[in-house]
Structure 1
């Protein structure tokens, strides 16, 4: 008998729906994930940050898919048991430039609607060029943690 996988927490389910909408470049699906006044914060380096409003966030991700060939994978999800927050690890694949970047995001969900009202993105390291053959420094692929067993822990090693 096969065990039924557990039903994901509603916050995790929404995050996964959000990533699916990003990957599909689906504006309406993206909009449905956010409160109208949502904010997405980033580390320095990107223009026009933070992104303020569901409309802005949705349009910026559409731009990334169209212009960078962006696709994202979720590596890990942790949902708080006592607050409206969650954190994930992700990989952002920029296929038109053959680069990848790993990082994590902290999510805050609206208490009334359950929608995403804030995302705080943090990058693990600078983006890596030429993901077909990631450069190795001190035994570690650039853009990844030193001595961390990505393959052994089930992380995506290429954009699928």
Structure 2
């Protein structure tokens, strides 16, 4: 197994965020497993995005069309579980918007990102009975789901 120490997993997340900021879709995809999934809150970015190429192209478009860039503000890695959490800032340059949040990362045996779950720092959306990620299989994964 390669790419699975704490330092390597952290480097993968940082490399992924740097690649996103570069707008280079190939560089973004290089950090992702082919079948990677990126979950978002409902009605955000038409998510979930499925597949390394889809994720990569979407972020490359965000850089090109909105002047997006990202910083890693804090990161914690759980090496035995191959998981990480990253707190970040998304600068949407042309819109003058700063979006802060955190993402939960899952990695495969080779240290590639298989799943990203994005959570945003914002007020609770009114009109929703469930405030959770769109398309995420909560019940199937054993989360409380009354």
Same fold per TM (> 0.5)?
A: yes
Among candidates 106, 109, 121, match of residue 108 of structure 1 = 106
Structure 2 residue 106 is matched with structure 1 residue 118: no
Rounded Cα–Cα distance in structure 2 between residues aligned with 1:47 and 1:72: 16
Gaps of 5+ in 1: 1-7, 127-160
Map of 1:52 onto structure 2: 50
Q: Runs of at least 4 residues of structure 1 off by over 6 A?
A: none
Deviation at 1:97, TM superposition (A): 0.8
TM-score, structure 2 normalization: 0.78
Residue correspondence of structure 1 range 68-83 to structure 2 within 5 A: 68-83=66-81
Map of 1:39 onto structure 2: 37
| Higher CA-based Rg | 1
Gaps of 5+ in 2: 1-5, 124-146
Rounded Cα–Cα distance in structure 2 between residues aligned with 1:13 and 1:100: 24
Deviation at 1:47, TM superposition (A): 4.0
Equivalent residue of 1:9, what SS?
helix
| Structure ranking higher in helix proportion | 2
Question: How many pairs were matched up?
Answer: 119
Rounded Cα–Cα distance in structure 2 between residues aligned with 1:60 and 1:81: 28
- Cα deviation digits, residues 61-85 of structure 1 (max 9, x gap): 0110011110001100000143110
Rounded Cα–Cα distance in structure 2 between residues aligned with 1:47 and 1:91: 17
Residues 102, 47 of structure 1: alpha-carbon distance in 2 compared, 3 angstrom cutoff = closer
